[in-house]
């Protein structure tokens, strides 16, 4: 995005005290940005500018009463979820709300106002915004900063069971932070299951599929993967 467009987002957030969301089942103009002190509730969504991805509340199956905050393909008729925020802490009703603070923190609350999930960042921004990018990446950033390296937080750092273009699998050898995939526990439970895809750094780095602590598959040594 060009700098001029970034500035328009920040200006819009300063001007508007409310924002219209695309409500499921309604005909409305979708928005991709959340500004400080704004919220996202059940039935409301953010959509990427090109209409590829959508962020909102969902239940994994028709019979499930659990609600999760997630990102899915917007143009696919059968909902295909690619990322879930509260994988291990479902909300039991449709009273969940996603809040965005003036400090750039996303917080997911249940009906008793208890926090079931939140973003974590040690960075600060003068004019923080949340934006769902065309890549499917949900980012918290300064509205006037166009450098991805300066993002306060991004969902691509916390992949679930889907590797989207721009994501990575690996490990930061300095901080120990690891990017890896993990299967859902079941079709109606997005909590981490027993399968993992990660980079094994014992000896030559290798991409491996693990079932628990057992390696089920490994790539040839020295192979490099990019998405």
The pLDDT score that the predictor gives to residue 12 is 55
Both tokens assigned to 76: 């696919």
Q: DSSP of 35-58, one letter per residue?
A: -TT-EEETTEEEE-TTSSEEEEEE
pLDDT at 1 over 70: no
The whole-angstrom separation of Cα 169 and Cα 171 is: 7
The residues near 21 (Cβ < 8 Å, ≥ 6 apart) are 28, 30, 31, 40, 44, 45, 46
pLDDT in tens, 131-154: 999 999 999 999 888 888 889 999
Average pLDDT of the chain? 86
Distance of CA 55 to the CA centre of its chain: 8
Which DSSP symbol is given to 21? P
Residue written as token pair 């959340």: 34
Q: How confident is the model at residue 121 (pLDDT cuts 50, 70, 90)?
A: confident
pLDDT in tens, 176-225: 999 999 999 999 999 999 999 999 988 888 999 999 889 999 886 554 44
């Amino acid at each position: 995005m060009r700098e001029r467009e970034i500035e328009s987002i920040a200006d819009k957030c300063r001007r508007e005290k409310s924002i219209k969301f695309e409500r499921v089942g309604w005909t409305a103009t979708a928005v991709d940005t959340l500004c400080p002190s704004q919220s996202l509730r059940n039935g409301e969504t953010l959509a990427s500018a090109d209409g590829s991805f959508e962020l909102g509340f969902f239940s994994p199956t028709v019979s499930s009463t659990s609600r999760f905050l997630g990102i899915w393909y917007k143009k696919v008729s059968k909902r295909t979820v690619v990322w879930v925020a509260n994988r291990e802490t479902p909300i039991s009703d449709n009273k969940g709300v996603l809040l965005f603070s003036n400090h750039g923190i996303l917080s997911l609350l249940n009906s008793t106002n208890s926090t079931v999930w939140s973003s974590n960042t040690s960075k600060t921004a003068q004019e923080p915004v949340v934006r769902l990018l065309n890549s499917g990446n949900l980012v918290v950033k300064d509205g006037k900063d166009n450098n991805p390296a300066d993002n306060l937080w991004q969902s691509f750092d916390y992949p679930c069971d889907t590797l989207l273009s721009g994501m990575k699998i690996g490990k930061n050898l300095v901080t120990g932070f690891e990017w890896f995939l993990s299967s859902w526990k079941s079709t109606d439970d997005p909590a981490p299951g027993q399968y993992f895809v990660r980079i094994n750094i014992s000896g030559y780095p290798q991409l491996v599929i693990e079932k628990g602590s057992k390696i089920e598959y490994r790539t040839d040594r020295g192979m490099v993967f990019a998405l």
